[in-house]
Amino acid sequence: MKKIAITRLSILFFGLLLLSCTKKDDSPTTPEEGGPDISSFSPTSGPVGTEIFITGKNFGSTVAANTVKIGNTTATVGSASTTELFITVPNGAATGKVSVTVGGKTDTGGTFTVTQDEESNNVALNKTDIELFTLDSETLSFASGVDANTHVDWSSNDESVAIVDDNGKITGVAAGSTIITAIVGDNEVEATVTIKPNVYVVGFESDGDTDVVKLWTNGIAEELPNAGDASSVFVNGADVYVAGQSSDDQAAIWKNGAISQLTNGANYAEARSVFVVGSDVYVAGNDDDGDSDVALVWKNGELLHELTDGTTSARAYSIFVVGSDTYVSGNESNEALKNVAKIWKNDVLLHTLSDEANNGDARSVFVDGSNVYAVGQEEIVNEYAAKIWKNGVATNLTDGTNYADARSVFVVDSDVYVVGLENTINGDTLIVWKNEQILYTLTDGSALADAHGIFVVGSDVYVAGHVDEGDNTVAKVWKNEEVLYELNNGSDLARAYSIFLK
């Protein structure tokens, strides 16, 4: 704290001059007979740490014999005589009357005004508002009032959103807002930190001759090596997992860009969905055994479940894991060569979702508590209706007048969000449903379009898909009803198949 550097002789000189600062000018109390009697004090205002000179009579001759207060706060007595006291304004003092007590008798003088230390007013951060993506960092510094030798205590009021170290380095943990506080002595300054989720999308981009598999992070593209296709993305901590197909038609998974193949290359195979729990990586997909496709689940690169026996063709589209239980949605052909929408729990059929007399698909699965949700489509007469199933019970999202498909489902706080499409004469209308009601549409049906992934953070709904624009296709991310990112420039073809936020 700033000290007022005034010698005691100077204080005495000014004290004698400032007789107007005596107790008589500030409605003093009448001294008790034989007790202390304050004549004057100086200065009459200052910050914590200011030294005050008090004159009068009947003071205690020792420091311990005097109790001096400013308001209700006891001050530190530096020296004492029967006619003079030197005190220091203590921490926590507020504006109030100066009183001296000796031997149980008290006299109260005028008011001392506690002011803010000028140096304290100069303590300021270089920023008071910061925006970061999850896992990104930025270090706060001081614009004034603090040097390299000053001790600073840093804290975050919500470490689930952002943390701060002893040097003021802030790191985003999860989406949200928090206050970062820096304490310098008795001074406290704050900055508001908003953490935005990273948006991960996988798909591909083509120049017409070559397809390049891409992972986009916040709209910035990265090429996946040795990739032929990418269907799903999942982020766990700082690790980014992508499921897809290698350039030699094997089921594969990429961890932070490094490829691991799940099949031996003897047959055509693909990984369609990835889900990570702790250090365990689960993948759903299918492998052609030479006669038909078999729906499979891998765990940490090893085959965990064969969901079908290869008698008829099957597809595993989506996986969700709760504890050690795996839930997979997909389809399996029956003897009538109809694709039947199904859900498997571990290696056992949990629900047959669609009528076996008609074609059906279960594109996506999501488990919320005891409820198992799946979305997809089922054939109605000569068209397909978009559907949602809850614990095996179906609800139509469209009436079957036009071709429709529900592509992805996400549940948060018991609200069920679905994205899909309905085909019209001129193109496709991309639709977001909430609790089986249309929340909004993303396109107007004037061009071909598709949406394959949905993810919800708080009240914000993110969708990944693509729209035909002119002669090419633009991959896009929507946040609520607005386009957040266009992932390619429209001079080529691109598609987005999966989205994850972290």
Is 494:205 a contact under the CB 8 Å cutoff?
Answer: yes
State how far the alpha carbon of 10 is from the alpha carbons of 4, 14, 16, 17, in Å: 12, 6, 10, 11
Is 32:52 a contact under the CB 8 Å cutoff?
Answer: no
DSSP string, 231-279: EEEEEETTEEEEEEEETTS-EEEEETTEEEESS-SSS-EEEEEEEEETT
Question: Using alpha carbons only, what angle is made at residue 69 by residues 66 and 74, rounded to the nearest 5 degrees?
Answer: 90
CATH entry 2.130.10.10 includes domain 199-501: yes
pLDDT of residue 4: 35
Query: How would you list the strands of the sheet with 187-196, edge to edge?
Result: 129-133, 187-196, 176-184, 153-156
Is 40:55 a contact under the CB 8 Å cutoff?
Answer: yes
* Residue burial 209-218, b: 16+ Cβ < 10 Å; e: rest: eebebbbbbe
Question: Using alpha carbons only, what angle is made at residue 400 by residues 399 and 402, rounded to the nearest 5 degrees?
Answer: 115
pLDDT of residue 154: 96
What distance lies between CA 471 and its chain's CA centroid?
38
Is 316:339 a contact under the CB 8 Å cutoff?
Answer: no
Q: pLDDT tens across 300-313, in order?
A: 999 999 999 999 99
What CATH architecture applies to the domain 8-114?
A: Sandwich (2.60)
Q: Where exactly does CATH 2.130.10.10 map onto the chain?
A: 199-501
What distance lies between CA 120 and its chain's CA centroid?
33
Is 99:54 a contact under the CB 8 Å cutoff?
Answer: no
Q: Under 8 Å CB-to-CB from 67, ≥6 apart: which residues?
A: 74, 100, 101, 102
Q: What is the DSSP letter of 65?
A: G
Q: Please state the φ and ψ torsions of residue 66, each to the nearest 5 degrees.
A: -115, 135
43 upstream amide cis, omega within 30 of 0:
yes
**CA terminus-to-terminus distance, the chain:** 44
pLDDT above 50 for 13: no
Which residue bears the tokens 């420091």? 63
- The type of residue at 269 is A
Mapped onto helix, strand or coil, the DSSP state of residue 406 is: strand
pLDDT band at 27 (very low <50, low <70, confident <90, very high): low
Is 132:196 a contact under the CB 8 Å cutoff?
Answer: yes
| Torsion sign across C-alpha atoms 34, 40, 41, 45 | positive
Q: Where exactly does CATH 2.60.40.1080 map onto the chain?
A: 122-196
Model confidence, pTM: 0.75
pLDDT above 50 for 385: yes
Q: pLDDT tens across 337-361, in order?
A: 899 999 999 999 999 999 989 999 9
Is 57:39 a contact under the CB 8 Å cutoff?
Answer: yes
Mapped onto helix, strand or coil, the DSSP state of residue 353 is: coil
Calpha distance 62→234 (Å, rounded): 75
Q: Where exactly does CATH 2.60.40.10 map onto the chain?
A: 8-114
Q: Please compute the mean of the pLDDT values over residues 153-157 and round it to a whole number.
A: 96
Q: Please state the φ and ψ torsions of residue 441, each to the nearest 5 degrees.
A: -110, 150
pLDDT band at 185 (very low <50, low <70, confident <90, very high): confident
Classify 143 in phi/psi space as left (phi over 0), alpha (psi -120 to 50) or beta.
Answer: alpha
Q: pLDDT tens across 443-467, in order?
A: 999 999 999 999 999 999 999 999 9
pLDDT above 80 for 12: no
Q: Which residue did the predictor score with more confidence, 143 or 60? A: 60
pLDDT above 80 for 21: no
CATH of domain 122-196: 2.60.40.1080
Q: Tokens for 64?
A: 């311990």
Is 429:421 a contact under the CB 8 Å cutoff?
Answer: yes
Is 177:161 a contact under the CB 8 Å cutoff?
Answer: yes
pLDDT band at 29 (very low <50, low <70, confident <90, very high): low
Nearest in space to 252 (alpha carbons), one of 237, 238, 268: 268
Indicate the helix (H) or strand (E) that contains 338: none
- The type of residue at 188 is E
pLDDT of residue 9: 38
pLDDT of residue 22: 41
